[in-house]
Every structure is written in structure tokens, then in C-alpha cells.
Amino acid sequence: MVASRVVGVVMGVACVVAGVVLAVVMLVLFSNNKKETEEGGIMSGRQKQLLADMASRRMVVVMTCVVVLLVLVGVPVGVQSAIFSDKGTEGTNTNEAEAIDFLGRYDREAGQMCNKFMEASWNYNTNVTDFNKRVMLQQQMIWSDFHRTKWNEATNFAWKNFTTPTVRRMFSFLTVLGKAALPRDKLKELTGLLQEMKTTYSVAKICRYDARLRRLPSGDYDYDAEFEADDDNQIGCIPTLPLEPHLTQMMANSRDPDELRYLWRAWREAAGKPIRQKYLRFVELSNEAARLNGFSDAGEYWRSDYEIDGFREEVEELWQKLSPLYQQLHAYVRAKLVEKYGEEVVPRRGPIPAHLLGNMWAQTWTNVLDITIPYPGRTSVDVTNALRIQGYSPLAMFRLAEEFFTSLGLEPMPQTFWQRSMIQKPTDREVVCHASAWDFCNGRDYRIKQCTEVTMEHLVTTHHEMGHIQYDLLYRNQPFIFRDGANPGFHEAVGDVLALSASTPRHLQSVGLLGNVDDSYETDINFLFAMALDKIAFLPFGYLMDQWRWEVFSGDTTSSNLNNRWWELRLGVQGVSPPVPRTEEDFDPGAKFHVPANVPYVRYFVSFVVQFQFHAELCKAAGHEGPLHRCDIYRSVKAGRLLRNVLSLGKSRPWTEALSVLTSGRTNKLDVEPILEYFGPLRTWLESQNRGELIGWRENEAIVLQVTRSNASLITGAVLAVIALVLLVALVIIAFRRCRRGGNKNFNTASQGS
Ligand code: KAF
Ligand code: ZN
């Protein structure tokens, strides 16, 4: 990073120097040339020729332009590189005591500033109005100004030589400015764009599926916003269905491929397509900010969160090790979907159509458990029905999750958490429904915002979100700058680790959500299969989201190839295909929350790997014996203590050290062994089931429907086409006969006349 700053300054200076040198050369040559022509020649013919060229007017204009350009480019490049740091810029002040004083002040002020921003942001996210948006954007600017001021102070210190490692670590974070490095107008533009994209996504709605919806001449549904019925056989389109809960539920429960295809497409029309242009501008500004911080692009800036060289390669390596297990699951699920829908809908050896997997993005497949379950009629761990029958409310689900945390000796949610959280979707206003967990930076105020539905999936989400709050609570005594996850993947993993135990059949039985549970092989496989639909199915999606964004940020993927590259990855990595043709008019990545909301996604891939490492270690601490997938750490104070030790470090140490603490020094690396061990028995079972199936997929065998006509309209279309053809043939015959008759007449007349 330091190197790139130096390169920036050198390049800037070089440009200016080159400009000046060129200007001087021009002056000298031009005046020489004038002199030469005046004095008569002592130069060779070739030189004279050259000078004559140089003197030509066109040349002078071009050269002047080059000079101006070099100076114009050189000055800002040099100045920007000199002013803004790359990661860890330092100054000349070597006084460590003064630096510690500065850190103390920073700590007190940052908490207060952050709290104000969080309040404003919460108000907007739980009540999407223009007023709340304005207040939030104002607070965001104040928060950025604060960062810039503190960055200016911090970079005065020669902190790299300070003696206290913790102080050095704090400075290494404080001296990276982030997007506040942008000039004020551009920063405003960037935050404004982000808000617009997130709002478009959050308030997007579509029309209910009905075969009588208006069609375009191509036979395709008319997805264009709102319209009234314009003939008796049609119905009007009033977009009333939001993603949560309606579309999510319909994608989960509908088994009608036409309806699913319609919903899939309509969501992308409403949420993805409209933000395409904004996203492109957002990428430009993000890159500009990243470069001002000394990174090559925003992707490299994001990856720097992981504090290791070669993070990208490491992730790729992890995925390569996990991919064979994913392919086994993919082949098995595809075969089951062929059984359900037939080979006209699901290709036996091709990628799986993305609308049939029970989820808007085909990212987790738990909602097709009913049609894919290995041993129907045996214990199934989907407790959605039990939750509903027993009258669970969102609040009861939250209390159940909390009880798991406290059973390990971890923190209960504070009183204000229960008073201030939003755990149900309000009916009187627009909100950003995508779940999130909030730390209000004052050590007291923590909240969750979740449009909770009473389903098993949401029970797991509740554990996930509460895991974020638990982490926040455990590191609250750290200095402000260290109050964060060891890496973003750790933050995403905490709640999931507990959910791995809470979802076991034995545990669900103990809380009264499952009836008789036996220890049979079939129960094990049914359980592991359900977990794989969640954990293994997700891996390629978790991997490819940021593969795509990193490539967009680096410029490897350009505006002419945005959606196309997205589908190359979806087909190549995940083995799913779009149910209808896609073009560069579309912007399908934009129909996934984390793209318009600008939340990096590889964190979830990391989380899905590391959570099994946590699970294995906590199970060891809890004294679990037997297969890993049967472990339930419920009520293990020892497991709780270990978890507390790791999490209370926050970001004060690199995550590799936190992993060392977790594993008692056995490893400090991300490791796929525990997840492979967990799913070992399922893998063997899948391999035996998949004999004779193609493992993998042939991309060219994807089934992409050209138009979304219903059968009824297809038949009507065909009948109309036949009638039109008959009429056309009749017309041609009549015309031909008339022609012949007329022709004969003319011929006769003509011959008579001659
Ligand atoms: C995870 C687990 C199961 C399935 C799928 C996933 C991935 C992902 C998804 O695609 O749904 N899960 C989430 O997005 C859960 C939301 C969240 O808890 O990760 C949330 C995302 C978010 C929302 C708004 C702004 C920023 C991030 N993350 C947090 O609330 C959070 C993150 C870090 C620290 C504290 C809270
Ligand atoms: Zn999360």
C-alpha cells in the first residue's frame, strides 16, 4: 500500500516534469527553427526537414495539448497521493504518550458520534420516509467529517515505531480513511446513490400472478409497473406484493413452474433492472475512494478486512475442496426435481432452473425438502408446522433463541433490546425488511430489526441475528476501534454456531418441537440432508457473489458484460440457469439485497466454513462423543466459556489468533475438514444414490423458456395462426387467378391490336 502511494506521487511528479520538459523543448526548437530560417542554414537537410515539421502549426497545437494534459493529470495524481494515505500512513510525531492521549479522546467522542448516526439510520430503516432519509444522510456526513478530522490527527504520528502493539494496531485502523477520503460532493453523491438503490430494493412490489395479466406481442407478460385492464379477458396490474413476506413465501411453497417463473422474473424487473445505471456510477465512486486510500480498487479494499495476503486465493482453494460435495447434492436434488416436474422443465444432465429451488436466489434449498427428502415418512426436522400449531409468536421465537445463549452462560439480551427492537413487519409504514442487528455504540442499546415469520427458517435467522448482538455484547469492553468481529465472517458465524446445535432432532425434541426422535440411520440422513440444503447448497452462492463484484470493481467485468458475467458464474459455479432469457438490459445481481445495500458477501462463505470449526471445538469442550452432526452444546458452560474467550477479543487481535485460541493452538487457518467431517455420512449416501447420474452439469443443456405464454394462449395463438395461413393462401390463389384472367384478356387485346 505504501508502495502504491509512492508510485502515485512519483507518477504525478513525472507527469508534471515531462510536461515542463516538453514545453521547454518545444520553445527551444521553435525559436531555433525561427532563427535558422532567419539566418539561413548551418543544419543538415534532414534536420531542416524535422524543424520544418516542428514548426508546422498542427504540431505545435498537438504538443501544447500534450503538455497541458500532462500537467493537468500530473498535479492531481501527485497531490492526491501525497495527501491521502494508503493503509497505515504515518507522520513524524514520535510522542507515544501524546498518541495514547489522542486515542482516549477518540474513544470517548467516537462512541457518541456513532450513536447519533445509528439512531438516525435506525429511524430511516424502520420508517422509510424522505424526511428520515434526509436526517440520516446529514448524520452520515457528520460521521464522515469526524472520521476525516481524526484521520488527519492520527496520520501525524510516526506510529509504526511505537512500542505498544495494541496502540500500533489501533493506528493501523484509524489511518485508513475509507470513503470519507472522497471530496465532499462525491461523498454526498455516493451515499445518496446507496440510499436510492437500497430504497428501490426495499419498497419494490410486484403484481399477483394471473394468466390473464396483459401480454406483449411477443407473448411475454407485461411487467411494466402499474396498468389497468384494457380488455375483458385481462386483469389490471396493481403491484402490491413485497418480497417479505409474500414473494418469499410463494417462492417457498408454490410448485407451479409457470407461477414461479413469473415471480422470479417480476422481482428482477422491479428490484434489479431499475438500479443498473446507478450501480455503475456507484462502482466508479467506490473505486475512486479506494484508490485515494491506496488500494487498487474497491474489491481490494474490501478484502483488506481479512488482514492476510492471498485471501482471494485462499477462498478459491476452500471452494475447490468443497465443490465435489456440492456437486453430489446438486445431482441428487436435480434428479428429484426431474421426478417432480419432468424432463421438459428440469434437464436431467443440465443446470437446475433457478426458480424451482424454493428461494428467490436459489441460495438455500431448504424449502424443497418436502419433494427431495431421502426417507419420506421418517423424522423430518422442519418444525414450521409445530411452531404454528403451538402458537409460537415472533417474540416467543426470540425468547427461545435467547435461552440457548444463556444456557451456555452467555449474555441475556438487555432490557432495552426487548423494548426497542422491531421483530415484526409493521403494517402502517415502509421498512427495510432485510434482517439486521444493531449496536448503538454506547454499551447499552442493542436491537434487532427482522420481519419475523413463524417458520423454521426464521427461527434459524433469529439465532443468526442474536449471534451478532451476543458478539457485540461480549466485546463491548474493548476500545471503540476494536469493537468489531475478528473478521466479518466471524460476526456472521456466531448465531449459526448455536443454531447447528439448536436444529438437531434431539434438541428440537427437548424443546417440544419434535415428537419421537430415534437414533436410526434414516433419521440421521434426513437431518443431514436438510442441513445440507441450507449449508452446502449455499456455498457456491456465497462464493460467487463477490467473485462477481470483485471483477466489476477491478474492471475485468465492464458495463457491456455485467449481467452476462453474473450468469456465467451462476451457471459455472452454482449450476443453476435462468428460467427466461437474460440480456444486458437486466441487472440480476441487483435483485439481491447485499448488492444495492453494498454489503460484502464473501463473509457468509467464510462464516459457513468457520462455523463448523467453532462447532467442532465447542463440542470437544462440551465433552461430546460420537458423530459431529449429533452434537448439541446446549447447557455446556465449558463450551460457553470457550466461546466467550474467543469472542470477547473483538478485533483487538488478528482473526488467525482468535482461531488459535479456539483450537488451543492446533490451527490458525480456515479449514474445511470439520464441515466435511460433519457431512461425511451424507456424502457416502449421496454417492450411492447418484450412481448413473451425471455429477456436474452441461451448461448447453439448460432449459431457458423463450416466452412465458400459458397453454391456453398458446393454443389460441396456434389456431389464429392456422386461420391466418388459410386466409393468406386463399387470397394468393384468388389473386393469381384474377391475374391470369386479366393477363389472357390483355394478351388477346394486344394480339388483336397488332
Ligand atoms: C446467512 C445465513 C443463512 C442463509 C443465508 C445467509 C446469508 C445472508 C442472506 O443472503 O440472507 N444473510 C443475511 O443477510 C442476514 C443479515 C445479516 O445479519 O447478515 C446483516 C446484513 C446486513 C444488513 C444491513 C446492513 C449490513 C449488513 N448483518 C448484520 O446485521 C450485521 C453484520 C455485522 C455486524 C453486525 C450486524
Ligand atoms: Zn448476519
Q: Is residue 406 scored above 70 in pLDDT?
A: yes
When pLDDT is averaged across residues 381-397 and rounded to a whole number, the result is 97
Residues in the chain: 754
pLDDT at 5 over 90: no
DSSP 230-273: -STT-B-B---EEIIIIIHHHHHH---HHHHHHHHHHHIIIIIG
Split at pLDDT 50, 70, 90, the class of 220 is confident
Q: Does 326 appear as a known binding residue?
A: no
Is 306 annotated to bind a ligand? Reply is: yes
Q: 597: CA distance to ligand 1 center in Å?
A: 11
In this predicted model, which residue has the larger pLDDT, 67 or 104?
104
Give nearest CA residue, ligand 1 atom 13: 435
Closest ligand to C-alpha of residue 500 is 1
Q: Using the CB atoms, write b or e for 324-360: b if 16+ within 10 Å.
A: ebbbbbbbbbbbbbbeeeeeebbbeebbbbbbbbbbb
CA distance 683 to 323: 12
Please tell me the number of the ligand nearest to residue 593's CA: 1
Q: Which residue in 39, 58, 27, 461 sits closest to 244, CA to CA?
A: 461
- The catalytic residues are 465, 594
Cβ 53 vs Cβ 33: under 8 Å:
no
The SS3 assignment for 225 reads: coil
Which residue's C-alpha cell is 474492471? 555
> Cell 417432480 belongs to which residue?
340
SS (H, E, C) 463-510: HHHHHHHHHHHHCCCCCHHHCCCCCHHHHHHHHHHHHHHHCCHHHHHH
Backbone dihedral angles phi then psi of residue 422, each to the nearest 5 degrees:
-110, 100
CB 470 within 8 A of CB 166: no
> What is the pLDDT at residue 230?
77
Closest ligand 1 atom, residue 488 Cα? 33
CA atoms lying within 13 Å on the CB side of residue 671: 19
- In the block, cell 511505537 appears at 162
Cβ-in-10-Å burial (0-12, 13-18, 19+) of 141 comes to middle
C-alpha cell at position 537: 447448497
**CB 462 within 8 Å of CB 398:** yes
Q: How far is the CA of 270 from the centre of ligand 2 (A)?
A: 25
Residue 69 cell numbers, joined: 494534459
| pLDDT digits 0-9 by tens, 695-741 | 999 999 999 987 644 454 555 556 667 777 888 888 888 877 876 66
pLDDT, residue 213, reads 86
> Among the atoms of ligand 1, which is closest to the Cα of residue 592?
10
Tell which atom from ligand 1 comes closest to the C-alpha of 435. 16
- Give the list of residues 6+ apart from residue 429 with CB closer than 8 angstroms, or none: 127, 128, 129
Give the pLDDT of residue 719. Answer: 67
The pTM (predicted TM-score) of the whole model is: 0.85
pLDDT digits (tens, 9 = 90+) for 115-158: 999 999 999 999 999 999 999 999 999 999 999 999 999 999 99
Distance of alpha carbon 401 from alpha carbon 501, whole angstroms = 11
All residues at 6 or more sequence positions from 487 whose CB lies less than 8 Å from its CB, including other chains: 305, 306, 307, 603, 606, 655
- Mean pLDDT across 170-199: 97
Residue 87 pLDDT class (50, 70, 90 cuts): low
Q: 3-state DSSP call for residue 671? A: coil
Q: What is the DSSP string of 128-158?
A: --HHHHHHHHHHHHHHHHHHHHHHHHHTTB-
Residue written as cell 511528479? 13
Phi, psi of 298 (to 5 degrees): -65, -25
CB 464 within 8 A of CB 491: no
Dist. CA 492 → ligand 1 center (Å): 7
pLDDT at 46: 45
Tell me, in angstroms, the distance from the centre of ligand 1 to residue 436's CA: 6
> Does the structure show a pLDDT above 70 at 745?
no
Say whether 468 counts as a known binding-site residue.
yes
Take residue 744 and report the three cell numbers written for it. Answer: 389472357
Q: How many CB atoms lie within 10 A of CB 230?
A: 8
Ligand nearest to the CA of 496: 1
- Residues enclosing ligand 1, CB less than 6 A? 363-364, 434-437, 464-465, 468, 491-492, 538, 597, 599, 604
pLDDT digits (tens, 9 = 90+) for 109-120: 999 999 999 999
8 Å CB contact between 459 and 423: no
Residue 514 near residue 505, CB atoms below 8 Å = yes
Q: Judging by beta carbons within 10 Å of its beta carbon (0-12, 13-18, 19+), is residue 451 exposed, middle or buried? A: buried
Query: Could you give the 3-state DSSP secondary structure of residue 57?
Result: helix
Cell numbers placing 507: 434438541
Locate the ligand 1 atom nearest the alpha carbon of residue 604 and give its number.
7
Cell of 67: 503538455
Distance CA 173, CA 85 (A): 12
Surrounding ion ligand 2 within 5 Å at CB are 492
Residues 6+ apart with CB under 8 A from 164: 96, 100
604-647 residue pLDDT tens: 999 999 999 999 999 999 999 999 999 999 999 999 999 999 99
Min mean pLDDT across 69-78, 230-239, 543-552, 735-744 is at 69-78
Has residue 80 got a pLDDT over 80? no
* Nearest protein CA to atom 7 of ligand 1, as residue: 604
Q: Give the position of cell 501544447.
A: 64
Q: Which residues does 627 contact at the CB level (< 8 Å), separation at least 6? A: 524, 681
SS3 of residue 157 by DSSP: strand
Determine the pLDDT at residue 56: 52
Mean pLDDT of the chain: 89
Q: Tens digit of pLDDT for each residue in 25-64? A: 554 444 444 333 333 333 344 444 433 444 455 555 445 5
The number of the ligand nearest the C-alpha atom of 601 reads: 1
Tell me: cis bond preceding 245? Omega within 30 of 0 counts: yes
- What is the residue with the minimal CA distance to atom 18 of ligand 1? 436
Substitution site in 363, 434, 647 for ligand 1 pocket (most atoms within 8 Å of beta carbon): 434
The predicted pLDDT at position 718 comes to: 66
* DSSP assignment of 373-400: -SSTTS-----HHHHHHTT--HHHHHHH
The answer on whether 603 is annotated among ligand-binding residues is yes
Ligand 1 pocket mutation pick from 484, 549, 604 by most atoms within 8 angstroms of CB: 604
The ligand 1 atom at the shortest distance from the C-alpha of residue 542 is: 7
* Euclidean distance between CA atoms 577 and 706, whole angstroms: 13
Average pLDDT over residues 646-664: 98
More confident residue, 354 or 725: 354
Q: Are 365 and 537 in contact (CB under 8 A)?
A: yes
Write down the pLDDT at residue 620: 98
Judging by DSSP bridges, how do beta strands 436-439 and 446-449 pair with one another? antiparallel
Mean pLDDT of 272-299: 98
Ligand 2 centroid distance, CA of 602 (Å): 12
Asked if residue 464 belongs to a known ligand binding site, the reply is yes
Ligand 1 centroid distance, CA of 593 (Å): 10
Separation of alpha carbons 613 and 242, rounded Å: 37
